[in-house]
Amino acid sequence: MTATAEERMLSPEIDAFIEKWKDKPGNLIMVLHRVQEEFSYIPRQAAFEVAAALGVPVAKIYGVITFYHFFKLTKPGRNQIAVCMGTACYLKGGQDLIDECERKLGVGLNTVTEDGEFSVEAVRCIGCCGLAPVLTVNGEVFGTVGTKSIAKIIDQFE
């Protein structure tokens, strides 16, 4: 797949980032982080463009994307709810928070609501164990969350 200049998906900022990292060994993961920061996932076309820009096979890029949990291949909801499933949060009811989010939004884990507004995922320890159980919405941390407060938190972002 080749894209003409008009159809290119990567922004000039990402191009500049790639240019800066191009000659540094081990740049692929850093570039993918930058792409995901922009699109909130790694679109297929972007992967092809990164491949062309860095001169690495697309297969290698997909190998890396699928290996690491952090990289996503599908677009998450506009508001991303991430429930911490570290040990402390798990013991204090992290799973109940996930169940409640799923019930409230009518979606399963890692799927997006029909209107594209919300998605729910379980994440690894985010290191706020003192506040367990914890969830984040778009990176904002909510601590000592009970199942009853889920509705209120979701409302804030609707």
Partner 1 sequence: MAFKNYILVCAGTACESSKGVALYEALEKELKAQGADTEAQLVKTGCFGFCEQGPIVKILPDESFYVKVGPEHAQQIVAEHIIKGRQVKELLYDKNQSSGASADNIAFYQKQQRIVLRNCGVINPELIDEYIARDGYAALEKVIFEMTPDEVIQELKDAGLRGRGGAGFPTGLKWGFTKNAAGDQKYVVCNADEGDPGAYMDRSTCEGDPHSVLEAMTIAGHTVGADQGFIYIRAEYPLAIERLENAIGQAREYGLLGKNILGSDFSFDIELRLGAGAFVCGEETALLASIEGKRGMPIPRPPFPAVKGLWGKPTVINNVETWANIPMIILKGAAWYSSIGTETSKGTKVFALTGKINNSGLIEVPMGTTLREIIYDIGGGIRGGKKFKAAQTGGPSGGVITAEFLDTPIDYESLMSIGSMMGSGGMIVMDEDDCMIDVTKFYLEFTVDESCGKCAPCRIGGRTNYNILDKISKGQGCPEDLDKLKTIAQAMRKASLCGLGQTSPNPIMSTINFFEDEYLAHINDKRCPAGKCKDLLSYTVIEEKCIGCTACARVCPVSCISGEVKVAHVINQDQCIKCGQCFDKCKFDAIHKG
**Nearer residue to partner 1 within complex by CB, 3 or 135:** 135
- Compute the least distance from the CB of residue 10 to partner 1, in Å: 18
- Compute the least distance from the CB of residue 82 to partner 1, in Å: 9
**Nearer residue to partner 1 within complex by CB, 116 or 127:** 127
**Nearer residue to partner 1 within complex by CB, 67 or 115:** 67
Contact 35, 50 (CB under 8 A): yes
Q: What are phi and psi of 20, to 5 degrees?
A: -65, -35
- Compute the least distance from the CB of residue 128 to partner 1, in Å: 5
- Compute the least distance from the CB of residue 48 to partner 1, in Å: 18
**Nearer residue to partner 1 within complex by CB, 7 or 26:** 26
Contact 158, 117 (CB under 8 A): yes
Binding site for partner 1 (CB under 8 A): 25-30, 32-33, 63-64, 67-71, 85-88, 90-92, 96, 99-100, 103, 123-132, 139-143, 147
157 vs 7: CA distance, rounded Å: 33
> What phi-psi label fits residue 139: left (phi over 0), alpha (psi between -120 and 50 degrees) or beta?
left
Cβ neighbour number for residue 107 with a 10 Å cutoff: 18
- Compute the least distance from the CB of residue 142 to partner 1, in Å: 8
- For the chain, give percent helix, strand, coil, nearest 5: 45, 10, 40
Cβ neighbour number for residue 80 with a 10 Å cutoff: 19
**Nearer residue to partner 1 within complex by CB, 9 or 129:** 129
